[in-house]
Each structure stands twice: as structure tokens, then as C-alpha cells.
Amino acid sequence: MSAHCHLLPALALALGMGAFSARAETITVTIEKMAFSPAEISASVGDTVQWVNKDTFAHTATVKGEWEVMFPVAKSGSIVLDKAGTLAYFCRFHPNMKGRITVSAP
């Protein structure tokens, strides 16, 4: 067996590790006092947005015609962003609560 054959697994491992250098992030949005905080966030495709409900009411993060995440009292929920664009969301129970996510391509 040539010396080059022994290098192939190490090379494959090194190249594979490079593919993971851009890690997905988790961005936390707090729900408190009937508001999303921060109300506007920037993220990348593949990132996770996690909402933590610190209010005494249930809430949602709803993107009309796209998705909805429900947050019971003192619970959290999340979604993985799968496409670039701007997402305006609101709470279905309290429509005055609004947020915006600007999602960029990786």
C-alpha cells in the first residue's frame, strides 16, 4: 500500500471538518411584558430562533401562511430557519406584539 493511501482518511476528515466551520447559532428572544425582546433580529439559514416566554400569558410567534410556534406560560419553543428572507411575525393572541427576523443565506 502506498503512503498516499494512508493520507486519504486524514485528508477526508480535515475536509469534512472544514464544512462545519460555519456553525449554526441559536438566537434567543425573550417574551416579557407583552413584547418580543429583541423585536428585530438577524440570522442565517440554519440558525435556530428560540423564544422564552416569561409572561403570565400564552403567546405565539406566527408568520402568516408560513408557520406558528406556541409558547405556554413559562415555556419556550424554537424553529430552525430554512430559507433566506425577511419574516414579520406576531402573536396570534395579542396581534400588537410584533417581531421581525432578517434571514441571510449562509
Domain ranges of the chain: 23-104
Q: What is the 3-state secondary structure (H, E, C) of 22-55?
A: CCCCEEEEEECCCCEECCEEEEECCCEEEEEECC
CATH of the domain spanning 23-104: 2.60.40.420
Q: Is the dihedral of CA 66, 43, 93, 54 positive or negative?
A: positive
- pLDDT by residue (tens digit) across 60-93? 999 999 999 999 999 999 999 999 999 999 999 9
Higher pLDDT, 68 or 11: 68
- The string of pLDDT tens digits covering residues 23-55 is 899 999 999 999 999 999 999 999 999 999 999
DSSP state of 14: H
- The model's confidence at residue 12, banded by pLDDT at 50, 70 and 90, is very low
Task: Determine the pLDDT at residue 10.
Answer: 43
Q: How confident is the model at residue 2 (pLDDT cuts 50, 70, 90)?
A: very low
Give kind and range of the element (H or E) at residue 57: none
Q: What is the pTM of this model?
A: 0.78
